[in-house]
């Protein structure tokens, strides 16, 4: 079975709508804060507020006392909290028991949206064809900071993310993958000079940016600082978390964005978008497979990692499989699922930057 969760709604297992709302209330009561509950649940604060409001409307009473700095449950809220805790515990036991009966190995994987959109379809196709009967794979799109939090909490078994200097990687092991290239993109109808341009030439055009913590935004802000600018120097900044909507808006000429070429390949090739490079900007970024420090891989997990590295046609790090001997590119067949080197789609190298 393959369960896909897009966004930040998941906390490591599938939930019904009802249990999702109960979990939200439990986290708010535990943390005493909508923002901290949102961080724990990997959702936005408005999403938490809407869930609590929905529950209060459904039950016909206030569940939270909002008079103080810390949110506290009302008498009704305490009753719902206690019953919700019991329900969630029963659900966890039920899911665990059903999982044991299925005989399948569960894999929880997380990655950034840009990697997921550009590369996961080919990787998953190869992996699921070989391992559908032995693996229960669930994956989630997250920003790097939430990926690291999820790994620390045991919500994810493995992840792929772009690396930024601002992230603390001391608790994880990283295994390099081919990186990607970040560029400004615009619709040709805007008439912005290409391939080289300047920040000053872009400031009057609306900029679509990702949320704070997203690696593309971190890299953009660092680059702007290096050339004496800030994000607020743009006349208009539109924060939009949906990568598909950002790309579509830029294609339609509504603004510019700083995005991965991996995601934009088809649009650039078809001439729907134009790439722009800024002197002084660092356009490349590193990417890696990330595991909790000292973690091990076996069975379907090892097969998934094999499919990941085979997709890029690069050597699997020997440290991942200390008991196996790697070939010049991908490792030998992993017996659990039988993924062979070369079956996954090859990554297309990004177009070389034209000479300035």
Q: What is the pLDDT of residues 305-348, one digit of tens each?
A: 999 999 999 988 888 876 655 444 444 333 344 444 443 333 34
**How confident is the model over 242-271, as a mean pLDDT?**
92
Euclidean distance between CA atoms 23 and 38, whole angstroms: 11
Helix (H, G, I), strand (E, B) or coil at 304: helix
Contacts (Cβ under 8 Å, ≥6 apart) of 88 = 19, 22, 23, 26
- Low-confidence winner among 1-15, 72-86, 117-131, 295-309 (lowest mean pLDDT): 1-15
pLDDT, average across residues 153-177: 88
- How many Cβ atoms from other residues are within 10 Å of residue 274's Cβ? 23
- % the chain with pLDDT above 90: 40
CA 166, CA 215: separation in Å to the nearest integer?
Answer: 9
List Cα–Cα distances, 260 to 59, 263, 264, in angstroms.
46, 6, 7
Task: Say how many CA atoms lie within 13 Å of 96 toward its Cβ.
Answer: 6
Give the mean pLDDT of 142-162.
Answer: 87
Q: Residue 137's beta-bridge partner residues?
A: 2, 107
Model confidence at 299, pLDDT cuts 50, 70, 90, reads: confident
- Write out pLDDT tens, residues 194-252: 899 999 999 999 999 987 767 888 899 999 999 999 999 999 999 887 788 899 999 99
Confidence at residue 135, expressed as pLDDT on a 0 to 100 scale: 65
pTM: 0.65
Q: Work out the mean pLDDT of the chain and round it to a whole number.
A: 81
Q: Which domains does the chain have, with CATH numbers?
A: 9-101 (1.10.10.10), 103-177+286-320 (3.40.190.10), 179-284 (3.40.190.10)
Rounded to the nearest 10 degrees, the angle between the axes of helix 261-269 and helix 243-251 is 30
Distance CA 71, CA 66 (A): 5
**What whole-number distance in Å separates Cα of residue 33 and Cα of residue 71?**
6
What's the rounded mean pLDDT across residues 261-282?
Answer: 93
pLDDT of residue 108: 86
- Tokens standing for residue 317: 């790090």
Higher per-residue pLDDT: 101 or 288: 288
- Residue linked to tokens 């890029």: 312
Please say if the pLDDT value at position 78 is more than 70.
yes
- According to DSSP H, which parts of the chain are helical? 17-31, 34-41, 45-59, 75-102, 113-131, 144-152, 199-202, 215-226, 243-251, 261-269, 299-311
Over residues 116-142, the mean pLDDT reads 81
User: pLDDT: is 109 or 2 the higher one?
Assistant: 109
Does 272 have pLDDT greater than 90? Answer: yes
Tally helices (H) and strands (E) across the chain: 11, 12
């Amino acid at each position: 079975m393959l369960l896909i969760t897009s966004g930040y709604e998941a906390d490591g297992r599938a939930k019904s709508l009802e249990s999702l709302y109960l979990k939200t209330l439990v986290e708010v009561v535990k943390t005493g804060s909508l923002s901290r509950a949102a961080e724990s649940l990997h959702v936005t604060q408005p999403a938490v507020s809407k869930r609590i409001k929905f529950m209060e409307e459904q039950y016909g009473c206030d569940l939270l006392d909002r008079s103080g700095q810390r949110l506290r449950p009302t008498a009704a809220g305490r009753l719902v909290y206690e019953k919700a805790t019991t329900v969630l515990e029963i659900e966890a036991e039920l899911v665990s028991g059903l999982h044991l009966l299925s005989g399948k190995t569960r894999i929880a994987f997380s990655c950034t949206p840009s990697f997921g959109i550009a590369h996961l379809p080919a990787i998953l196709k190869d992996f699921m064809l070989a391992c559908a009967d032995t693996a229960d794979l669930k994956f989630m799109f997250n920003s790097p900071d939430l990926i690291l939090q999820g790994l620390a909490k045991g919500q994810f078994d493995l992840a792929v993310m772009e690396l930024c200097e601002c992230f603390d990687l001391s608790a994880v092991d990283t295994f390099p993958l081919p990186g990607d290239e970040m560029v400004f993109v615009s619709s040709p109808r805007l008439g912005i000079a290409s391939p080289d341009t300047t920040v000053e030439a872009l400031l009057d055009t609306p900029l679509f940016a990702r949320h704070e913590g997203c690696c593309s935004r971190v890299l953009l802000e660092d680059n702007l600082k290096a050339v004496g600018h800030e994000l607020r120097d743009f006349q208009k900044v539109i924060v939009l978390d949906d990568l598909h909507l950002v790309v579509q808006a830029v294609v339609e000429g509504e603004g510019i964005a700083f995005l991965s070429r991996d995601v934009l390949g088809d649009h650039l090739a078809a001439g729907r978008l134009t790439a722009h490079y800024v002197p002084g900007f660092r356009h490349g970024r590193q990417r890696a497979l990330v595991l909790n420090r000292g973690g091990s891989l076996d069975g379907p997990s090892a097969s998934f990692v094999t499919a990941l590295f085979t997709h890029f046609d690069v050597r699997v790090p020997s440290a991942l499989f200390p008991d196996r001997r790697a070939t010049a590119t991908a490792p030998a067949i992993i017996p659990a699922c039988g993924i062979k080197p070369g079956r996954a789609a090859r990554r297309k190298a990004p177009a070389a930057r034209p000479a300035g």
